[in-house]
């Protein structure tokens, strides 16, 4: 995979260019996805969190500007780091496109395993590391029958995690399980 060239100031872009965003956005609209949270996708994220033991799990759809967690699992008691002012950031449904690791999965079109993001300079500088305290990531692309990458399924933790081969197999099988359900959904609902 190639990454964007350095910015004029010499800093590397941390988020890969997304040339497929217009086609993805059109495909998501055609499937009725990416505009609202879906209880069935929240349930899918809940099951994925249980399978992996991760505190956060998401079904994430990306367009050219942002990421939208149509499926989201958060722990009952938030585990994110507390800011210096005593507040704790909240994981919501939206995230800027340049935050997190899912844009890399979409651009690569393959799963990404980061057992400790701080081991990788490219990923350690991501805003979610400082803002939310994310330390590990496991994600796979949702590639539909038209070969469009709709988004990702992913899990994250605030502690380094040895995901290993089992984690990789789990996240890839979750993506493979979800894609036909996304394409086979009925207007306004899922067949999950």
- Reply yes or no on whether the pLDDT at 42 is more than 80: yes
Q: Is residue 14 part of a domain?
A: no
Range of the domain at 69: 21-183
The enclosing domain of 109 has a CATH number of: 3.30.450.40
Position 98 confidence tier, pLDDT thresholds 50, 70, 90: confident
Q: Is residue 153 part of a domain?
A: yes
Q: Comparing 8-17, 106-115, 159-168, 173-182, which segment has the lowest mean pLDDT?
A: 8-17
**pLDDT number for residue 14:** 65
> 146: which 2 tokens?
């038209």
Name the more confident of 191 and 21. Answer: 21
Q: Is residue 161 part of a domain?
A: yes
- Reply yes or no on whether the pLDDT at 21 is more than 50: yes
Q: Is residue 88 part of a domain?
A: yes
> 171: which 2 tokens?
């996240």
**pLDDT number for residue 18:** 83
**pLDDT number for residue 95:** 84
Name the more confident of 5 and 168. Answer: 168
**pLDDT number for residue 10:** 38
State the DSSP string of 131-190.
HH---EEEEEEEE-TTS-EEEEEEEEESS----HHHHHHHHHHHHHHHHHHHHTPBTTB-
Q: Is residue 146 part of a domain?
A: yes
Q: Is residue 4 part of a domain?
A: no
Tell me the whole-structure pTM to 2 decimals. 0.83
Position 8 confidence tier, pLDDT thresholds 50, 70, 90: very low
The C-alpha R_g of the chain, in whole angstroms, comes to 16
Query: Looking at the 3D structure of the chain, how many domains does it have?
Result: 1
Q: Is residue 152 part of a domain?
A: yes
């Amino acid at each position: 995979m190639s990454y964007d060239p350095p910015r004029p100031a010499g800093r590397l872009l941390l988020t890969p260019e997304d040339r497929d965003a217009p086609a993805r956005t059109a495909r998501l609209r055609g499937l009725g996805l990416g505009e609202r949270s879906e209880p069935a996708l929240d349930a899918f994220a809940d099951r994925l969190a249980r399978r992996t033991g991760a505190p956060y799990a998401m079904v994430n759809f990306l367009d050219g500007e942002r990421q939208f967690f149509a499926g989201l699992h958060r722990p009952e008691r938030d585990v994110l780091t507390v800011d210096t002012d005593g507040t704790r950031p909240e994981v919501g449904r939206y995230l800027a496109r340049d935050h997190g690791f899912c844009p890399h999965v979409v651009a690569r079109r393959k799963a990404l395993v980061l057992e400790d993001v701080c081991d990788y300079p490219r990923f350690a500088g991501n805003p979610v590391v400082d803002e939310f305290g994310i330390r590990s990531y496991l994600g796979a692309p949702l590639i539909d029958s038209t070969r469009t990458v709709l988004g990702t399924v992913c899990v994250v933790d605030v502690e380094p995690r040895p995901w290993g081969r089992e984690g990789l197999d789990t996240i890839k099988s979750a993506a493979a399980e979800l894609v036909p359900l996304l394409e086979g959904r009925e207007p306004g609902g899922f067949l999950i």
